[in-house]
Amino acid sequence: MKKNLGILGILAVVFMATAMGSDSFFTAYNLFNLVERTSLYGIIGIGVAFVIITGGIDLSIGSFIGLVAVAFPWLVITHQIPVIAGLIGIIALALLAGLAHGLLITRLKLQPFVVTLCGLMIYRGIARWMVSDRTMGYGDKAFSGLKVLVGSLAQIPGMQNFAWAKHVPVAFLILIVLGIVAAVFLNKTIYGRYLLALGRNEQAARFSGINTSVMIVMAYVICSLITGLGGLLFALDYGSIQPDSFGNFYELYAIAAAVLGGCSLRGGEGSIFGIILGAALMRLLMNSISMLGIDDQLEPTVIGVVILAGVIVDELVKRFAARRRAILQARQAAS
Amino acid sequence: MSRPETPVPLLSVENVTRRFPGVTALNRVNLSVYPGEVLALIGENGAGKSTLMKILAGVQMPDEGQIKVNGTEVTLRSVQDSQASGIALIHQELNLSGNLDVGANIFLGREPLMRCGLIDKRRIRDQSRQLLERVGLDVSPDTIVDTLPIGQQQLVEIARALSINARMLIMDEPTSSLSTHETERLMDVVQDLRRRGVSVIYISHRLGEVKELADRVAVFRDGENAGELSREEITHDRMVRFMVGRDISQFYARRPHTPGAVALEVKDVQTPANPGHRLNFAIRQGEIVGVAGLVGAGRTEMLHVLFGVDRAVTGSVAVHGTSIRVNSPFDAIKAGIALVPEDRKQQGVILEMAVRANIGLAGLRKHQRRLGFLNRTQEARDSAQMIERLSIRTPHERQVVQFLSGGNQQKVVLGKWLAMNPAVLLMDEPTRGIDIGAKQEIYGLMEELAEQGVAILFVSSEMEEILGMSDRTLVMHEGRIAGELTRDELSEEAVMQLATGNVAAGAHPK
């Protein structure tokens, strides 16, 4: 919790500054979009956090989102498969991808970077090839049942009397439920503890009787499943999918959200709440840039600079703490 | 200590202190070495020898105190500084680039260049040849280092040290992985260096070698000077007494035992590292069996197979008469086997995690609640109990293990296993790098566990530990069990004979 205070602070400052600097920021429409996009990025951030905690990485997320977004209407519209069967197909696809990543990494000892970099290229190619690069749409009425997941407000049962409960996007509810499940899994179950332990020191975890290979495979499967869910939500939200570009760079945004939220790429560290804050900060920055009239072209630069600044401050704080501890201990030893 | 003929020591260390978080590694230590002298530096693991060597090699800086070379104070901030002062360290784990040839290794970082800026290979070859001759190594400078046996690689390191005109060689456990023949060769080289006026600080656990080679012995204990012996005063007993600070009979808490039923039986086990040999032995309940041997004799590999880290090629393992399959540490733990591994920081503890989480790690699955939820009550109970029972010195159970001293980290590893009530406890170098107090506590604990009927198999490179702690000793040589020594047959000489491949009388070759 203490670790998240910094990013919470930045979030508050940017929020206030944008609110004061722009009239259209504090409108229902803008805030709705902000929360909704935060939710989608937060979801894929939680997914990638599982592999980052093991000390791995998943670079294929963006391409996999593209593949899911294309494959779903391809199954349902082009091949006239029922929506439910289509969803099962997507889940199976995600399972398969996660298993493939995990097994290549644990059995063949390939580096996660290499495996998922190849995934990035493979999935993108398949997505483009299966629909011959045609734009896919989610306009068909077959999808209308799923459309409530994005772009609409939630009806939270039992909460009708609270004013705020009428302004919650459904996607945000999904994020909260997923976040709670992920946080409970990580912090309250032995499997979460195993992941954190092996992320710090896989050898010591193995020497303590933990089947680290199975746990790593599981982390990649969880990541791919959550990415699949995120991909569907992104697709429903955008409605029109370009196979050659949809989802491009999303893995980097997911990783950035996780890192902003306190995940170390060395593994073993991560807070779900932090990741949600990280995603929120990223979306807020994107939003602020357009609200404050900064050139759109500079958007990636601003985000990059803010993340870099955050990581630098974090590192400096850690060093300061370490030095203070060393001095304290030296003093204790001397006395 | 004054010497009329050479009043100024080549090297003197004066009141050097070095602290690490949680432990004072060196406390106002003094040491002097005279030109052409072989000074043996001995002490148990954790006595501060390696810290001092790192300071002399320029790898670490002292917190207090002075280092003088030829009477002039020097500051050794880097390995380069140290080399410029004529000091060269030959580390236990050799520091060679195995993929390069001998000449390239000797001149690594100081390659002579031709006028055009390229490496002058001919000069390297010529000068290397001379240096190799001086250390009595008859190989071509073009030989790739990896193809040489370990003893010859060590001579290459010595040649490198000579190439920088080192006047002072520090050798850290130089013989721990050498055969008898290679050891003799190395001793000759050291004698020769002494004749040429090079001083040597010789660190070793082999008191036999020390007796043969040293002009003087300095003993460290717990980061302090424990005593010095001149050439004529050197005896095995005196050295040991300085090392442990009292009679060994009191230090090692062995009491006579009556071992019970067979707890661990190993039959025809072939390890992947040494598939040419079959391992056969059994340990009884309440028995403490030591495993001695040179570095690389296959001792750690054997423990790894018993614990399921590596899979046996063939063979069977039984615990309390029940044959078990050990394909992973999980299987081993389920069968009641625990391993305190050699590399504590990499394999024993998770440094960044709390004491409590480390102690609970192995038992998480056993104590899990429904749906895999953590049993925090049990974890807290286990850790509180272990902190008390092993007197782990930590401010609180949420302290990150990293900030504990080596001895307390090792106790955390032990606590993790004791919470599982193992039937068989495997220990690999159980007291490496820990202070003498913690060491004695661990010996006491081993004794206590044996009395409760735990079968203990421990690997140690420290002769005193083998002599002091084992009811029975297995000696390994090149992947096989070269022999077994009972308590009556046990002596440093008997162990070394078997460990270096000479079958001694009184031993039972297997």
Q: What is the pLDDT of residues B261-277, one digit of tens each?
A: 999 999 999 999 889 99
pLDDT for the residue A330: 66
Contact B452/B422 with Cβ under 8 angstroms? no
Q: Which tens digit of pLDDT belongs to each residue from B223-234?
A: 899 999 999 999
Is the distance from CB of B336 to CB of B319 less than 8 angstroms? yes
- The pLDDT of residue B1 is 46
Tokens of B27: 């406390």
Nearest one of B102, B101, B67, B61 to B86, comparing CA atoms: B67
Q: Which chain A residues contact residue B328 at CB under 8 A?
A: 209, 211
SS3 B78: coil
Contact A3/B at CB under 8 A? no
CB contact under 8 A, B357 and A330: no
Structure confidence at residue B22 (pLDDT): 67
Which runs of E-coded beta strand occur in B21-167?
Answer: 23-33, 38-42, 64-69, 72-74, 87-90
Residue B346 DSSP code? I
Q: What is the pTM of this model?
A: 0.85
Alpha-carbon distance A96 to nearest alpha carbon in chain B (angstroms): 25
Helices (H) then strands (E): counts for chain B: 17, 20
Nearest-Cα residue of chain B relative to residue A189: B373
Between CA B43 and CA B254, with CA B411 as vertex, the angle to 5 degrees is 60
Burial classification of residue B28, based on how many CB atoms lie within 10 Å of its CB (0-12 exposed, 13-18 middle, 19 or more buried): middle
Least confident of A315-329, B71-85, B397-411: A315-329
d(CA A35, CA B329): 46
Chain B hits for A191, CB-CB cut-off 8 Å, are 372
pLDDT tens readout for residues B174-221: 888 777 788 888 888 899 889 988 999 999 878 888 988 999 999 998
pLDDT at res. B324: 93
pLDDT of the residue at A269: 87
| Helix H or strand E segment including B52 | helix B49-56
Q: What angle do CA B329, B335, B337 make, to 5 degrees?
A: 60
**What are the tens digits of pLDDT across the range B341-388?**
999 999 999 999 999 999 999 999 999 999 999 999 999 999 999 999
Residue B504 reports pLDDT greater than 90: no
Average pLDDT over residues B406-411: 92
Residues of B in contact with A188 (CB under 8 A): 373-374
The first and second tokens of residue A260, run together, are 């902003």
Confidence label for B450 from pLDDT (cuts 50, 70 and 90)? very high
Chain A, window 131-150: residues with a beta carbon less than 8 angstroms from a chain B beta carbon: none
Q: Are the C-beta atoms of residues B124 and B106 closer than 8 Å to each other?
A: yes
- Of the candidates A329, A251, A323, A313, the one whose C-alpha atom is nearest the C-alpha of residue A3 is A313
Q: B105 has which bridge partners?
A: none
Neighbours of A64 (CB within 10 A): 34
What ipTM describes this predicted complex? 0.87
Q: How far are the Cα atoms of B249, B298, B388, B452, B471 from residue B253, in angstroms, in the given order?
A: 7, 28, 21, 15, 12
One-character DSSP codes across A29-94: HHHHHHHHHHHHHHHHHHHHHHHHHTT-----HHHHHHHHHHHHHIIIIIS---HHHHHHHHHHHH
Contact (CB, 8 A) for A59 and A220 = no
pLDDT at A333 over 60: no
Contact between residue A156 and residue A168 where contact means Cβ atoms under 8 Å apart: yes
Element (H, E) at B102: helix B102-106
Q: Is the CB of residue B203 less than 8 Å from the CB of residue B173? A: yes
Query: Whole-angstrom Cα distance, residue A286 to residue A288?
Result: 6
- Nearest by CB: A197 against B19, B348, B353: B353
Collect all residues of chain A within an 8 Å Cβ-Cβ radius of residue B365: 190, 209
Q: Across the strands, what pairs with B475?
A: B292, B483
**Alpha-carbon distance B20 to A273, whole Å?**
36
> Per-residue pLDDT averaged across A29-52, rounded?
95
